[in-house]
Amino acid sequence: MSNDFVKKNYHIIIYTICYLSLLIGFILGENVTSGPKRDFLHTWNGAMEFNNNFLPSLLNFENIQYQTRISPIYLILISSLNDIFKSFDLTRFFLFLIISLSQIDYI
């Protein structure tokens, strides 16, 4: 019976294992290559420009201090989430949840 369960639900088991490994890495602050952390901190600084001066930052997006190729919509989302959560870590965790859970495919 357990063999049938694994055969029928292997995709759920694999996703759960992978998700838990990401979650543990997030909690422990794992940063092997240091690239994603620098990218997020640069993006965070750009989002905080939207937090401080929304309209001037949006109208002069190509001239903001922390220029990025990322869409201003994403920066506005980060800025808005930071306004809601009032915490760097909570905002980061919420983004982690949204991005990782968006990979689930309901068929």
CA–CA gap between residue 66 and residue 107 (Å, rounded): 41
**What string of pLDDT tens digits covers the 107 residues of the chain?**
577 877 788 888 888 898 899 889 888 888 777 777 888 888 888 888 888 888 877 777 777 777 777 888 888 899 899 999 999 999 999 998 888 888 777 65
**Contact call for residues 26 and 93 (beta carbons, < 8 A):** yes
Helices (H), 1-107: 2-28, 35-52, 54-59, 72-85, 88-101
Confidence at residue 51, expressed as pLDDT on a 0 to 100 scale: 82
**Per-residue pLDDT at 7:** 79
Give the pLDDT score at 107: 52
The helix/strand/coil state of 60 is coil
